[in-house]
Amino acid sequence: MDSKKTVFILSDSVGETAELVIKAGLSQFYQDYEIQRIPYVEDTKTIDDALNRSKDEDGIIGFTLVDPKLRNYLNEKASALDIEAIDIMGPMLQAMERVFDRQPRLEPGLVHKLDEDYFKKVEAIEFAVKYDDGRDPRGIARADIILIGVSRTSKTPLSQFLAHKRLKVANIPIVPEVEPPEELFEVDRSKCIGLRIQPEKLNDIRKERLKALGLGDQATYANIKRIHQELDYFDKIVERIGCRVVNVSNKAVEETANQILRLIKG
């Protein structure tokens, strides 16, 4: 039976990428092995220590080092000591440098920063779904942005658009017959944005919505008197909160979202 091999994994970040690649290769062999990960390599002494251990234990080395000086040092020393060293990142960076005709950034750990950014986006999207249309007022305190407005003022699409910017958004419908949740009046008002719309524009939108649902456009939902009543109540709530307002009339979701971002960041 083959003796157990020790695989030393060196990385200028956490070493996760190198370990995944090494394990993928090892899976092709009936070989007992042990992995020892050496993360955050920043100097030649750490490399020397790993090489000496590998020499003593008849091990091999797999590494991801973006710094060309450290990478070249490890390759040269490993060759001189007759140690098998697998440069996972080097050949790929060199090939990409030739193809893209530009220098790599040479910043360790960027893939994990990208992963973190991705998961923040997913978390924000899930948040927007969970706290859409006032489903759970507990989201108000946790939100980066709270959107309030009457029905058909693009609260949901705006929430999703802003979620893709990694912002947690809760939206609350404003209806005269329903008192808004208490949390809305306790939160930092700078996080709250009211969505205002012209009555005539809202009337047109609601009529089209009713038609799409196969309903007549004479329902109270699209009645101009009712719309004025809702918008008057919206204005009272906005004044009570003291929040800023964005007019969404005749604006695309992207345009409104960018205006909201400017207000929040300003």
Q: Would you list which residues are annotated within the binding site?
A: 149-156
Rg over CA atoms, the chain? 29
Strand blocks (E) in 104-239: 145-149, 169-173, 192-196
Any idea what DSSP says for residue 114? H
Give the count of alpha carbons within 13 A of 248, CB side only.
Answer: 27
List % helix, strand, coil for the chain (3-state, nearest 5).
55, 15, 30
Task: At 123, list the tokens.
Answer: 């978390």
Cα distance between residue 170 and residue 17, in whole Å? 36
Question: What are the backbone angles phi and psi of residue 55, rounded to the nearest 5°?
Answer: -65, -45
> By the 8 A CB rule, do 55 and 83 touch?
yes
Token readout for 28 is 């092709």
Beta-strand relationship, 60-64 and 5-11: parallel
Binding-site residues for ADP, please? 149-156
Distances, alpha carbon 64 to alpha carbons 53, 99, 100, 186, 239, in Å: 18, 20, 20, 50, 57
Paired with 61 in beta bridges are 8, 85
